[in-house]
Amino acid sequence: MRGTQPHYENGKDYDIIDVIRDYELNFCRGNIIKYIARAGKKHDELLDLIKAQDYLNREIELLREKQWKIKQYQNMHQWIISEKY
């Protein structure tokens, strides 16, 4: 489905949101792609890229937190196993 706003027009039969859906990107990753693809078409190009960078930083932080939690779980699991034996 194509966007109805002129600043979203890309001359194709699809919009960036279709790509985001096809790749099943989460909110942050979808917004990164969206702001980069549309940079400068609606407002200030630099501002669009800064928004993309903000979402990228948020996604990186989420992944770091997830990895940290996994590591904590693994360490706890190892400790429990070592205490049993």
Query: Residue 39: pLDDT above 90?
Result: yes
Position 83 scores a pLDDT of 75
How far apart are the C-alpha atoms of 67 and 73, rounded to whole Å? 10
How far apart are the C-alpha atoms of 57 and 10, rounded to whole Å? 27
What are the DSSP calls for the chain, one per residue?
Answer: ---SSGGG--SSSS-HHHHHHHTT--HHHHHHHHHHHTTTTSS-HHHHHHHHHHHHHHHHHHHHHHHHHHHHHHHHHHHHHHHH-
Write the pLDDT tens digit of every residue in 46-82. Answer: 999 999 999 999 999 999 999 998 988 888 888 777 7
Q: What is the pTM of this model?
A: 0.76
Phi/psi zone of residue 11: left (φ > 0), alpha (ψ -120 to 50 degrees), beta? left
